[in-house]
Amino acid sequence: MQMTFSIKPCRSGSLIMICLLLIGHAALGAEPSAATGNRFYQDTKHGWFRYEDPPPEQKKPETKKKPVARPPREDASLDQYSINDLWNMYPDDFQELLNHVQKNAVQSPTERNILKYLVIQDVARRKALAYTNATMYVTQKYGDLLNVGQVYPMAGPGVTARVEMQKKEILQTISRAGTDHALLFFVKPGCGFCAKQATILRYFVKKYHWQVKTVNISRNTSAAARFNITMTPTLLLIKRGGETYMPVSVGVIALSELERKLYRAIRHLQGNTRGNNFLMYDFQKGSALDPTSILNKGRQPWAIKRMHLQ
């Protein structure tokens, strides 16, 4: 089969386009590389009028502004008040003014500013002294309401009498409770502290004739679990005819401390004390050392003493 070729004449416009392409190629200097050609075909996928989000702008580190120093000045805020005004000023307002005057004196320590601060500081000292004097006056005048010295004296003879009353009450309470109370003494093998506590308990039993039952938590695990005993030696107070009990001590405890803690535990199981007056002795009931006794007063103390107030 014979093939024939023919050359058709080009139009002038087509010739011009070919020339422009050749000139542009020569201006670029070299043929496009394979990478450039691939990138061209990849970029065309975006379209000729594509839009892409610009890269995020990096925030410039913020520069902290240096505090502008205030020029020293004479403070005139105190000049508008007299000494009587300062004396009768509300404490919060007085404190604010005092701080302001002090800062001005530190910033500008002139003779005038320092004198202002020392004067207002002297007013504060005198107000505190007046409050202390007035408090002592009211405390002494209404000692039956506010003074604890009647049940907790600080003088030597009074302290001796108070200690004797406490010992007497402890002795009587423990002695009477021995008929329907008992101590559980929890121990375990190899506990050296338990042996020392046992020696102290022998003195206790000889003095009060109480029943003390020793419980080995290694053998009697049910008792240990019932009373949640994990450490030895531990002393626990129980009361006959009831399920209530009260821990007395954990670890070695001296006889005098054992008596005090046992006394408090007995009174608590008997319903004579609660959590808010647990440390109160019976002879202090209704006094200033009885926290809730004031709730039974009914009327306000200042209303009862109204005729005597000045």
Residue 177 lies in a domain: yes
Question: Strands 181-187, 234-239: parallel, antiparallel or unpaired by DSSP?
Answer: antiparallel
Residue 32 lies in a domain: no
Residues 130 and 252 in one domain: no
Contact 157, 165 (CB under 8 A): no
Per-residue pLDDT of the chain (310 residues; tens, 9 = 90+): 444 444 445 454 554 555 455 555 444 444 444 445 555 555 555 555 555 666 777 777 776 666 554 544 555 578 899 999 999 999 999 999 999 999 999 999 999 999 999 999 999 999 999 999 999 888 888 877 777 777 888 899 999 999 999 999 999 999 999 999 999 999 999 999 999 999 999 999 999 999 999 999 999 999 999 999 999 999 999 998 878 899 999 999 999 999 999 999 999 999 999 999 999 999 998 888 888 888 866 667 777 655 555 5
Residues 92 and 122 in one domain: yes
Residues 202 and 235 in one domain: yes
Q: How far, in Å, are 147, 250, 273, 278, 294 from residue 287 at the CA level?
A: 9, 32, 14, 14, 9
Residues 133 and 169 in one domain: no
Residues 234 and 130 in one domain: no
Residues 127 and 164 in one domain: no
- Amino acid 57: pLDDT: 75
Any idea what the CATH number is for the domain that residue 267 is in? 3.40.30.10
Residues 198 and 256 in one domain: yes
How many structural domains compose the chain? 2
Residue 210 lies in a domain: yes
Residue 13 lies in a domain: no
Residues 240 and 161 in one domain: yes
Residue 296 lies in a domain: no
Residues 273 and 204 in one domain: yes
Residues 268 and 170 in one domain: yes
Residues 122 and 205 in one domain: no
The position carrying tokens 């007046």 is 130
Report the predicted TM-score, pTM, of the whole model to 2 decimal places: 0.62
- Amino acid 37: pLDDT: 52
> For residue 99, what are the domain limits?
77-138
Residues 161 and 280 in one domain: yes
Residue 130 lies in a domain: yes
Nearest CA-CA partner of 269 in 230, 237, 304, 309: 237
- Amino acid 72: pLDDT: 47
Alpha-carbon distance 203 to 52, whole Å? 94
**Of 138, 165, 184, which residue is a domain's last?**
138
Residue 197 lies in a domain: yes
Residue 241 lies in a domain: yes
